Amino acid sequence: MFMGIGWIVSLIVIVLITTLIVVIMPSMDRKYIVRKNRKIDYKKTTIFLRWNVFDTLTLIIAIYTIICVQVLNLLLSFNQSVENPYVQFFTNQSQVWVLVTILYLFSRVSVTLKSIKAHWEDELNEKQ
């Protein structure tokens, strides 16, 4: 099956944004994540308890996703079909970045809760 030009351009944009994310990840990991026996030491790693680069990047991607969904709704309300390259582009972008944003939200909540637990563990043990 032949992919339309909108799908192809969308895939290129996805690769570019994903490459940006993958370039940022290792430098942040080396700089801020403290590891002990290859596992994250949540007690010593404080990056999860404050706003970081990935939170800003996720906010930008979430705003971009909202814009993509709204443009897609606008195109569909003007009776554009999936043959339209813009509909193809915004459909693909909306699907991918909604999924990425939700996955990041779940992982962010998880590591934040683990970090809070590690930091409060000593206080809770002292009170008992």
Residues 63-89 have pLDDT tens digits of 999 999 999 999 999 999 999 999 999
Residue 90 in this model has a pLDDT that exceeds 80:
yes
In the chain, DSSP finds a helix count (H) and a strand count (E) of 3, 2
pLDDT for res 128: 65
Residue 1 in this model has a pLDDT that exceeds 60:
no
Average pLDDT over residues 91-100: 96
Please tell me the distance from the alpha carbon of residue 51 to that of residue 25, in angstroms, as a whole number.
15
